[in-house]
């Protein structure tokens, strides 16, 4: 059972990133026109994931000057605007979404 007490989108984003980091793929090779996929468990390799983005969501509530980070469900309902920013460790903006 999932208990949504706010900030569910950031939690889903983090879960998706961690799932990609733990993904193992089989070794694939090609000879002439044939593709060979190794089913040997010893030849599985982790997915090459670099510059993992982290998503942070800001909630804006009327009457409160500063945005709220990691809002609970009550703060989410009171918010009139939401801004999600995804950045990597090099401070590159990888994605942005706004609502309101």
Q: What is the pLDDT of residues 9-36, one digit of tens each?
A: 888 888 998 999 999 999 999 999 999 9
Cβ-contact 60, 76 below 8 angstroms? no
Indicate the pTM of the whole model.
Answer: 0.70
Q: What is the pLDDT of residues 31-79, one digit of tens each?
A: 999 999 988 888 898 988 878 888 999 999 999 999 999 888 899 999 9
């Amino acid at each position: 059972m999932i208990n949504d007490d706010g900030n569910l989108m950031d939690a889903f984003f983090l879960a998706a990133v961690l799932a990609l980091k733990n993904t193992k793929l089989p070794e694939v090779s090609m000879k002439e026109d044939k593709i060979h996929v190794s089913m040997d468990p010893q030849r599985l390799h982790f997915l090459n994931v670099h510059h993992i983005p982290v998503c942070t969501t800001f909630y804006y509530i009327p009457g409160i000057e500063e945005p709220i980070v990691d809002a609970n469900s009550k703060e989410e309902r009171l918010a009139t605007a939401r801004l999600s920013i995804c950045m990597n460790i090099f401070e590159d903006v990888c994605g942005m979404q706004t609502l309101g």
